[in-house]
Chain A
Amino acid sequence: MGNEEYYELYGEYVSLKELGVATLISSVAAMVFFFLAPQVASLIGVQTSGLSITLGAIGATIGFVISTFIIKVKRVVSEV
């Protein structure tokens, strides 16, 4: 670590490449779940429109959890 170059985005330091990776993971997961909704809806017999958003949000969150494991944190916390 130490001397790597990051960009300050919204008050946080980010790596553009890793931001791209995280966005891709969350977006793909969200859309896959979103498009699976009609199948799931017919299985459990509920309305599709509501379910697609719900499933998409769950997909995006799963993507978020995966990203937190593969992306390095760019903060060093010192306790004073």
Chain B
Amino acid sequence: MDPVSLLLVVALSVLSTLLYIFIGILPGTDETATMAPIALTLLLAGMDPMLVLVWFIASIAAFKMADSIPVALAGIPGGVMAVPQVPDALLAKEQGLADTILRKGMASSVVGQFVAIVVSLAFSYYLMPAGDWLRATDVVLGVKVARWFWLVLVGTVVLAVTSRSKFVALISIPAVALVFQGLRAVYGKSVSISFFLGITIGPMIFELLSILHKELRKSYARKGPKEVRLLKVGKISLNPLKILTREELAHSTIWSAVTSVLATVMSPVGLTTLIGDLLRESKRDKVRGAVLAYTVRDAIKNATYIGGTLIPLLVIGVPTGPMAAGPAAPFFNKYEHLGMTARDFIVTHYDYLTITAMVLLSSAIAFLVAYPLLVKYSRAITLAVFRRMPAEALYGLFIAIVLMLSYYDAKIAGIFGTLVISLVSGALWRLGVSLGVMFMTLVAAPMLVSLLMALPV
């Protein structure tokens, strides 16, 4: 790589880190809704996909480190991935351990990211030959079906049976697939960006429309303003290795390695909840269990995001898990100016060593910026965000972005199509179906519907 590109890599990593520290701390910022549109914009603007990947990896590092800060300080999650940490944090805070979990969380984020990078890159390197096999097609019921489809289908079903409402989740898979394919047929093209944004903002749109209903509105009414108690923090060491105990480091390392691979087909939120809960229950002492669970969950958040992005990107070439089908989806899209998907461009134009170096470099830069900044100013930044950032402005921004991308995909009809998807997604989410099931169904939909139509009965 030439010096100019290298300079660009450094600049993009720093910029992405600063932006996503802010987004991470901001409450209510959904990962897909904040990461995917920016990556998409950069790709559409003609930026080299490798540089967009650099941006994306740095954003994972910063976002997943910062989103637990408001959890530790105020019990408010900064993103969907930080929600499982809330109960641990509440227990730890009662014992006056807010600054303990704050620093442990940040240190284990660093561990999670690097362990996951090493494991996913090594795993991908040895698994690359399997990519061709997975992309090959077989004829089933007269329909051409790619082999990776079965992987996606199994992942979707697993996610469905781990949803709060298993039955609804399972029957929703073919139903939602029909909605997607129906709209695609009407649009006359294979739209996906506005669909996955529709899924993402579904719960919010559903709640918003419920508030417009006279009776339903009552359960949402609150006397304002909302009171937030922000805890004080003491001095924190700048050396992350001093912060974690041996046990925490061991658990963070092992579980990061395991979950980074599992995230190829499994949901990051699901894994963060599952492993954290297991560790929490493994301790007799409730407080020690909560601190351990909180710490390891922070590592798993980074690890699943890295593994869930890199393995499908490098090996399979299609989004096989909720991470790849959600926040990282723009990399699997085809772009006219590239003549291929962003993912294909990366693997055909750069060798494995360059990709490895870029991913490691952007993570290192992100942590060199984020870690000292957050150690010193996490409380000040949180205070400023809570005091100055109205939720309405943020929600307004989300809705505007979704409207624009829906219009871009299919004009005015696209806006109403996205509304349909939001309503379906919001209603299913209300009924206990994880959003990941719908993201995965979006990927499986074309082949699933073809198979459904080819059934002899």
Contact = CB atoms under 8 A, between A and B. Distances in A.
Contact of B45 (A54, A76, A79): A54
Contact of A78 (B211, B224, B227, B394): B227
A26 B397 contact: yes
Contacts of B399: 23, 26-27
Contacts of B242: none
Given A10-B207, A12-B27, A30-B401, A3 B230 contact: no
B11 interface: no
A74 B194 CA distance: 30
Contacts of A6: 221-226
Contacts of A46: 46
Contacts of B226: 6, 12-13, 74-76
Contact of B222 (A5, A24, A63): A5
Interface string B1-43: 0000000000000000000000000011000000001101101
Interface string B201-214: 00110011001000
Interface string A40-70: 0000001101111110110011011001100
A64 B388 CA distance: 13
A80 B395 contact: no
A50 B337 contact: yes
Q: From A21, A26, A74, A76, name the one whose CB has the most chain B CB atoms within 10 angstroms.
A: A26
Nearest to B38: A57
A8 B204 CA distance: 11
A76 B224 CA distance: 9
A50 B45 contact: yes
A10 B28 contact: yes
Contacts of B336: 47, 49
Contact of A63 (B43, B383, B397): B397
A13 B204 CA distance: 13
Contact of A75 (B225, B394, B395): B225
B400 A71 contact: no
Contacts of B221: 5-7
B396 A19 contact: yes
B318 interface: no
B407 A14 contact: no
B150 interface: no
A22 B231 contact: no
B229 A9 contact: no
Interface of A: 1-16, 18-19, 21-27, 29-31, 34, 46-47, 49-54, 56-57, 60-61, 63-64, 67-68, 71-80
14 contacts: A2-B225, A8-B222, A9-B395, A10-B28, A12-B28, A19-B392, A19-B396, A23-B395, A56-B404, A71-B390, A73-B389, A75-B387, A77-B387, A79-B383
Given A26-B400, A74-B226, 9 more contacts: A2-B225, A5-B221, A5-B222, A11-B76, A26-B393, A67-B392, A77-B229, A79-B229, A79-B232
